[in-house]
Structure 1
Amino acid sequence: MHKPTERVLKILLTLASEKEKLTLTEISEKTNIPKSTISPILSTMVEMKFLSKKDDQKYKTGINTFVVGETYIESTSILEMIKSNMNEIVKECNEICQLGIIQQDKVFYIAKKEPKQSIQLVSYVGKFLPLYSTALGKVLIVNMTNDEIRKLIGNEMTPLTENTITDMDMFLEEIDKVRVNGYAYDLKETSLDSMCVAVPIVKDNKVISAMSVSVPAYRSDKEKFDEILKILNKHKNIIEDALEYTKFKDEDLI
């Protein structure tokens, strides 16, 4: 534990748990931090508006503590709203639905909803997969320039299957199609056992995450994917409508 940070957090937790405002002496006693140590910490926290100090020389939590708390509540509720829509997608198409974001040069899977009976996929919550082999990855980078994509992915595109695109020029041609269509496919590029379609989730013209549905390869066909796309786009619109009225940012998802 970093002692100075621990002291700041102790002060915040103590004041948050108390209904009444506290004096410096009372805070010192409740946190077991000496008054000589706690005084400059309190002054800094007041200056940065994490605490407020009244004329009676008593302290309470400040506006920035409220802002931090509200951000957490909002981001959690938005993620739960997305998961709720994912549950509806699974009910409507009876296939696995996944949510991913970009972490460095990979897709990071942050949520997954499954029907009662499902195939085992290569991906799972907490797993990283290449941007270039996944439907999620392709839509996550769709608003980037070709130069940005080249720089992000680099020259080494290791194949996961015989269908993985490993040539950057060919991959950029694929991204051009995604830009036109508004969705992307993984045609056995990550696993020979499954195929996938994904759509981006956009806020303020920025792709903040992506949502996909995967289907076992043996029962994948155009008609099925056309129906899944309608379902995905319906819930994408619901999610984006909700995001439009929040301060939610992509980094709030993790």
Structure 2
Amino acid sequence: MSAAAPGRAAESGAAQGGGQVKSAVRTVELLEYFAGRPGMHSLAAVQEAVGYPKSSLYMLLRTLVELGWVETDATGTRYGIGVRALLVGTSYIDGDEVVAAARPTLDRLSDDTTETIHLARLDGTNVVYLATRQSQHYLRPFTRVGRRLPAHSTALGKALLATYSDEQVRSMLPESLHRLTENTVTDREKLIEELHTVRAQGYAVDREEATLGLRCFSVAIPYRTPARDAISCTVPVARLTPAHEQMIKDALFHARDRLTLATRRL
């Protein structure tokens, strides 16, 4: 998809869907643009990316600045995501039943493994981190709540994709996948072959595919089919031994069983 596609998609959707309001679609797409690109951006850069007419884009940006959804710099010529977006994101996390039900299990999994623990949700072809427990070690990864990564590059994403059929995965992902590191699987069919292994063994592994130096293990939480959420344990490869790896896998399976009970009515 080209850089200007979001704006064209909004206009196309408004014309074809019948129920979409163009200004509302543009507002959401603009906020998603800023959410996916931290920092401040010029009007020209935003216009080139979203493809909206510059005059209407400027008026929309000024309105969002006045409402606190977008911020501008001292010159008034560069724009970025505003604090209101943080308030809404926090509200989503605070009100999510799965996040609430998972807290005791995440705490226990963190204590059992002493490593970094994540709860994430599949959002299209990405995973979004909903909760994190930081490692107790000095050498540890850092992942913030709200971070988004391509599902194919993470153990969390692969654990979730494995709950879909091969044909569903083919319809979700392009043939060529984005590379994050030299270890990322970039061929869709090779990824599907790996998903067969994930289904058979019950867990997924990220072998330095999202971040060099880190290995991650993950299991899906089967309160829905296909699964929507998964938990993971991330450990620096320098600290990973066969015994520690086995302990992490066992702890993840126990955590999955506890979470399955905790989310059975959701």
Please give the TM-score of this superposition, normalised by the length of structure 1: 0.64
Of 108, 119, 126 in structure 1, the residue corresponding to residue 146 of structure 2 is 126
1:161 is paired with a residue whose SS is coil
Q: Where does residue 206 of structure 1 map in the other structure? A: 226
Q: Where does residue 242 of structure 1 map in the other structure? A: 262
C-alpha separation in 2, matches of 1:206 and 1:241: 17
Q: How many residues align?
A: 174
Checking the alignment, whether the CA contact within 8 Å between 2:183 and 2:209 is kept in structure 1 is yes
Q: Name which of structure 1's ranges 119-128 and 83-92 shifts more when overlaid on structure 2.
A: 119-128
Q: Where does residue 100 of structure 1 map in the other structure? A: 120
Map 1:37-52 onto structure 2 (within 5 A).
none
C-alpha separation in 1, matches of 2:164 and 2:225: 11
Q: Max radius of gyration: which structure?
A: 1
Structure 2 residue 167 is the aligned partner of structure 1 residue 147: yes
Of 156, 172, 175 in structure 1, the residue corresponding to residue 195 of structure 2 is 175
Give the residue type in structure 2 aligned to 1:102.
L
Identity %: 26
C-alpha separation in 2, matches of 1:188 and 1:123: 15
Q: How far apart are residue 105 of structure 1 and its match?
A: 1.1
Checking the alignment, whether the CA contact within 8 Å between 1:201 and 1:211 is kept in structure 2 is yes
Checking the alignment, whether the CA contact within 8 Å between 1:122 and 1:191 is kept in structure 2 is no
C-alpha separation in 2, matches of 1:236 and 1:84: 12
Please give the TM-score of this superposition, normalised by the length of structure 2: 0.61
Of 111, 115, 124 in structure 2, the residue corresponding to residue 91 of structure 1 is 111
Checking the alignment, whether the CA contact within 8 Å between 2:175 and 2:189 is kept in structure 1 is no
* Cα 1:159–1:227 shift into 2, 3 Å: same
Q: Where does residue 138 of structure 1 map in the other structure? A: 158
C-alpha separation in 1, matches of 2:225 and 2:186: 29
* Cα 1:91–1:147 shift into 2, 3 Å: same
Q: How far apart are residue 163 of structure 1 and its match?
A: 0.7
Checking the alignment, whether the CA contact within 8 Å between 1:183 and 1:198 is kept in structure 2 is yes
- Cα deviation, 1:60-92, whole Å, max 9, x if unaligned, reads xxxxxxxxxxxx9x9645422302211111111
1:206 is paired with a residue whose SS is coil
Checking the alignment, whether the CA contact within 8 Å between 2:221 and 2:230 is kept in structure 1 is yes
Q: Name which of structure 1's ranges 176-185 and 196-205 shifts more when overlaid on structure 2.
A: 196-205
Q: Where does residue 11 of structure 2 map in the other structure? A: none
Which blocks of at least 5 consecutive residues in structure 1 are unaligned? 1-71, 249-254
C-alpha separation in 2, matches of 1:236 and 1:163: 27
Checking the alignment, whether the CA contact within 8 Å between 1:109 and 1:126 is kept in structure 2 is yes
Checking the alignment, whether the CA contact within 8 Å between 2:120 and 2:128 is kept in structure 1 is yes
2:127 is paired with a residue whose SS is strand
Checking the alignment, whether the CA contact within 8 Å between 1:95 and 1:118 is kept in structure 2 is no
Checking the alignment, whether the CA contact within 8 Å between 2:101 and 2:263 is kept in structure 1 is no
Give the residue type in structure 2 aligned to 1:163.
N
- Cα deviation, 1:181-231, whole Å, max 9, x if unaligned, reads 110000111111210000010115431300000001111133211111111
C-alpha separation in 2, matches of 1:118 and 1:107: 26
- Cα deviation, 1:12-70, whole Å, max 9, x if unaligned, reads xxxxxxxxxxxxxxxxxxxxxxxxxxxxxxxxxxxxxxxxxxxxxxxxxxxxxxxxxxx
Give the residue type in structure 1 aligned to 2:163.
N
Which blocks of at least 5 consecutive residues in structure 2 are unaligned? 1-91
2:199 is paired with a residue whose SS is helix
1:99 is paired with a residue whose SS is strand
C-alpha separation in 1, matches of 2:255 and 2:171: 32
